[in-house]
Structure 1
């Protein structure tokens, strides 16, 4: 460095200190997480250095074990604390990180000259907005642009590192290794003729036969089939039901108005009154643009709001439209939220002092696209919502045990495996499968046809989460009945099994862009069942009881008595018939479909008729 002035030498040293990797750490960096790039993605170029990432750091929660213990207690009808749900502050106290964890994480960020841009309410998530080159230094990694077969591009790093002393204090950092793509579980056959099975037999019940048309199923059919007809809402001022939207989806009020005018005219005011909330730059409350029309945007959102309002039009409805996971645009360097949006949405909920008592979500992806640590943390956030007294219902998927031709593991072995879905594989949510026909109901299934893949109710066993205690007996009985030879090695018999329940999911009548059509999927079953659960809550609230909250312990111990078992059909997929429906619980339709009057009685509510 001969010849440099003192001032120049000082400037050079400062520059080197700022750019050093790492700047100052207590211990050397070691790889914290690696994750194989899923099938369907290919690596392109190094990510642009100035592309800004909203990085979310999941700090280890202080006492999740205590939260889980209390969640079970307040959700178990045999426990003395049943229904005594936790407050927002109670939950935050249980999950907030230790002072040591926060101190070490802040020390690490300070050493890199990084100041957090935001915190979750419990400070268990820290957000920093940084250009790619700074994130690469922070995590000792390299980001590349990856492109999916459908043209979507994201910036990801299949491995990342932390100083060794932080490994026990940080659970996950995203976006790094996750290729999770929340997709709607809907099958839209607007361009294909309705296909009715040759074995279909019309209901012998005259009332049911009169109102249920298998090729276009309407709210009048649902209320007759499931027994909500005549029920009068009693606690609308205390009760709410919500649904989540992603990928640019937002419900269209004029379409809901047309739907209600035809099928539920007494509830038409709901088209004007339901609340639309926008999170993380999601779409607002506006008519579809020409581009959105060309992409068939909001078919899912319209289905969700119409399925809920058709069965439960008197209870206030809330819509969440969350931005996130947009196509990557390398020409932009402004902060772009490329995180999977579930985390932003659930953290938003946990920041609220009051949460709707039932929330329906119709989006999921293959579990193996989500790194285990990230899935576990998002699942823990769902547990926190459940502890607050909210029922979270997720669609179980539309590909049975896995889409044909895609049933390959993502562990480097490329072995044939059934594909579990996430979030339905999270044990703290209630997963909803799909049925069709009416007397009896059977597993929803539509075989592949020209230009359209097969559709069948999704179900299976998690490879991340063990079988929870509330369903151990049911799962063990099913696996034993299936036998060792049946699909041995294709699924994890000791995993969390789903779905938990089911409802109609084929050929729902709905409106989109001013025109009526039909749409199918567990995306239909989930908001329909959510609407019915919300009515059960209404009956409980009117009787002076708290809402049901996390449903699963109640469903498996008592609620199943208010469900109609589905015993015919199977979860086609992966080139095989898949798991069959049987007497009792099965990983296709769960414990069965709702019998509303029976559920109300079991839940301690009162059926209040018109």
Structure 2
């Protein structure tokens, strides 16, 4: 996807810059190497006159101070708790030093580059350049790479900078990134499936009355997670949002059909939720066109908006559609390389004065497809959002430990190992896994099998330990104990010292929803994540109605006291990578986190009033 959006550009970028010939202040030295995952095949050289929107991430001035403040305003036992930063305060902390800014601008000008755009904190510089010019700038070669699903991109596996710039530039993309931001939805069916033989009907009459395992509805979620009797009071001050990529569009007519059937009092909100276009992202008010229907798009976007609206109405909803859609065909004269999904959205968000208190994202893919330097910088952008008081929820993935027959590293040796996902592996976001059944809930699982339409991979709640990000302090106690209790199980297959996920979970199997005018069901952590976001938005409603601040970055609160408001899940395994995987246990585990939300109990763990 396209990198930074036009709204961030402070200078017109109507034509690519022209090089006047490099003037190196110091010799070029390799800055980064990154091998593509084995699903990618290297082809011929990329076409030199194709234009790339190059994103240059300058070293941020004082991120360490921002991180310290983020944890203070997110710690319920700290005196600064809830005193979130505003956009100007965040920008001032991450603005690059004058030295870094001067060195990088001098380098670009020496290479004939004058048209530049910027992020709000000036920590990203954006230029449009032909591939051949980027190759000279970075002393590298771009080749075409083809993914096994047909996606085509132009990338390199190594790039260089003058030695004196290494400490002033963190990352430059698109260069070595091979990620595609796949949505975490398992599948959808029009006809409800048969009830599994192992399913046991809940003994709780209230739950049994409204929960059907073959098609789970908002009334079931509201009953199961105790939101049914809560009446939101702060809808004018509280908002919830969700992101869309890959050309996905939430279809208002489908959402209206869904709400008329399952939440009729909320039906009007299908026409009034706000839809934002970022970097020419698609928005539309009418139904799917014939071509859109044929291309099978918007299952994800429809699921997101319907899951949120069904649980959190009348809380206003913001939908963000970020432009750029693979495949990028390097042989065609396309204007930009459109495959950088998260940076465009998050930097646009940071430009805004007012942003939702909770935002759900149902996209991700193997961490190793993203260069470490780029993943770290995008993660830092998420920290900036958290410092402003927004909870970022990301789905944990649908392939357990990494899918079937896919768990090999890109270290050049195809080493076997579990594959963590990004962005959920970022320690500044909250990961959401998936559950199924009702009494008790258990970690979601459906085995891989061959079908009439081809092989279908397993569906299991995404589970992992980051190879990029160290375990944050808020996880030390519970994650260390969990690993100790494994007694060496799967040693060598995962990073014991890495950030572990997910943090919480919610229902993620057979959601009732509408697509293209027809009701069906859909599954995935793409379902559990927006559902959890909707419930957290109700908690914020209770807080704001009490004159308190929203929760903001959830994890310090969650791991210190908030976990008491979640129902522990104790049944299941992580699966994936051709093994049974990590076990679900009492307390936190890297499959269901701390479990599923109990709204009334969560509110008790906040400063909100509790008188309903």
Bin the TM-score by the shorter chain. Answer: over 0.9
2:256 maps to what in 1?
257
Greater shift after overlay, 413-422 or 449-458?
449-458
2:302 maps to what in 1?
302
Q: Secondary structure at the match of 1:450?
A: strand
Report if aligned partners of 2:192, 2:214 keep a CA contact under 8 Å in 1.
no
Q: Secondary structure at the match of 1:464?
A: strand
Could you report, residue by residue, the CA deviation over 1:493-518 in whole angstroms, capped at 9, with x for unpaired residues? 11000000000000000000000000
Deviation at 1:187, TM superposition (A): 1.1
Deviation at 1:608, TM superposition (A): 6.1
**In structure 1, how many angstroms separate the alpha carbons of the residues matched to 2:50 and 2:304?**
35
Report if aligned partners of 2:328, 2:337 keep a CA contact under 8 Å in 1.
no
Report if aligned partners of 1:325, 1:340 keep a CA contact under 8 Å in 2.
no
Relative to 1, partners in 2 of residues 1:367 and 1:184: Cα closer, same or farther, differing over 3 Å? same
**In structure 2, how many angstroms separate the alpha carbons of the residues matched to 1:218 and 1:145?**
45
Deviation at 1:363, TM superposition (A): 0.1
Report if aligned partners of 1:232, 1:608 keep a CA contact under 8 Å in 2.
no
Q: Secondary structure at the match of 2:450?
A: coil
Report if aligned partners of 2:510, 2:522 keep a CA contact under 8 Å in 1.
yes
**How big is the alpha-carbon RMSD for the aligned residues of Structure 1 and Structure 2?**
1.3
1:87 maps to what in 2?
86
User: Is 1:516 equivalent to 2:515 in the alignment?
Assistant: no
User: Is 1:353 equivalent to 2:357 in the alignment?
Assistant: no
**In structure 1, how many angstroms separate the alpha carbons of the residues matched to 2:245 and 2:200?**
38
User: Is 1:526 equivalent to 2:522 in the alignment?
Assistant: no
**In structure 2, how many angstroms separate the alpha carbons of the residues matched to 1:466 and 1:197?**
40
Alignment counterpart, residue 569 of structure 1, candidates 558, 572, 575: 572
Q: Secondary structure at the match of 2:512?
A: strand
1:560 maps to what in 2?
563
**In structure 2, how many angstroms separate the alpha carbons of the residues matched to 1:441 and 1:513?**
31
Could you report, residue by residue, the CA deviation over 1:419-455 in whole angstroms, capped at 9, with x for unpaired residues? 1000000000000000001111000111223332210
1:363 maps to what in 2?
363
**In structure 2, how many angstroms separate the alpha carbons of the residues matched to 1:195 and 1:211?**
17
Question: TM-score with structure 2 length normalisation?
Answer: 0.95
Deviation at 1:329, TM superposition (A): 2.9
| Aligned residue runs from structure 1 range 128-277, under 5 A | 128-190=127-189, 194=193, 196-277=195-276
Deviation at 1:326, TM superposition (A): 2.4
User: Is 1:463 equivalent to 2:462 in the alignment?
Assistant: no
| Aligned residue runs from structure 1 range 447-596, under 5 A | 447-451=447-451, 452-484=456-488, 486-596=489-599
User: Is 1:606 equivalent to 2:605 in the alignment?
Assistant: no
Report if aligned partners of 2:247, 2:325 keep a CA contact under 8 Å in 1.
no
1:3 maps to what in 2?
none
**In structure 1, how many angstroms separate the alpha carbons of the residues matched to 2:182 and 2:173?**
19
Could you report, residue by residue, the CA deviation over 1:297-345 in whole angstroms, capped at 9, with x for unpaired residues? 0000000000000001200000000012521234543532424110000
Could you report, residue by residue, the CA deviation over 1:210-253 in whole angstroms, capped at 9, with x for unpaired residues? 10000100000000000000111100110110000000001000
Q: Secondary structure at the match of 2:468?
A: strand
**In structure 2, how many angstroms separate the alpha carbons of the residues matched to 1:239 and 1:189?**
31
Q: Secondary structure at the match of 1:427?
A: coil
**In structure 1, how many angstroms separate the alpha carbons of the residues matched to 2:259 and 2:358?**
21
**In structure 1, how many angstroms separate the alpha carbons of the residues matched to 2:142 and 2:248?**
29
**In structure 2, how many angstroms separate the alpha carbons of the residues matched to 1:158 and 1:242?**
35
Aligned residues: 590
**In structure 1, how many angstroms separate the alpha carbons of the residues matched to 2:410 and 2:396?**
20
2:323 maps to what in 1?
323
Deviation at 1:195, TM superposition (A): 5.3
Deviation at 1:39, TM superposition (A): 1.3
2:283 maps to what in 1?
284
Report if aligned partners of 2:237, 2:544 keep a CA contact under 8 Å in 1.
yes
Largest Rg, 1 or 2: 1
Deviation at 1:295, TM superposition (A): 2.2
**In structure 2, how many angstroms separate the alpha carbons of the residues matched to 1:223 and 1:60?**
45
**In structure 2, how many angstroms separate the alpha carbons of the residues matched to 1:507 and 1:460?**
24
Q: Structure 2: state its 5+ residue gaps.
A: 1-17
2:431 maps to what in 1?
431
Q: Secondary structure at the match of 2:254?
A: helix
Q: Secondary structure at the match of 1:48?
A: coil
Q: Structure 1: state its 5+ residue gaps.
A: 1-16
Question: TM-score with structure 1 length normalisation?
Answer: 0.95
Deviation at 1:374, TM superposition (A): 0.3
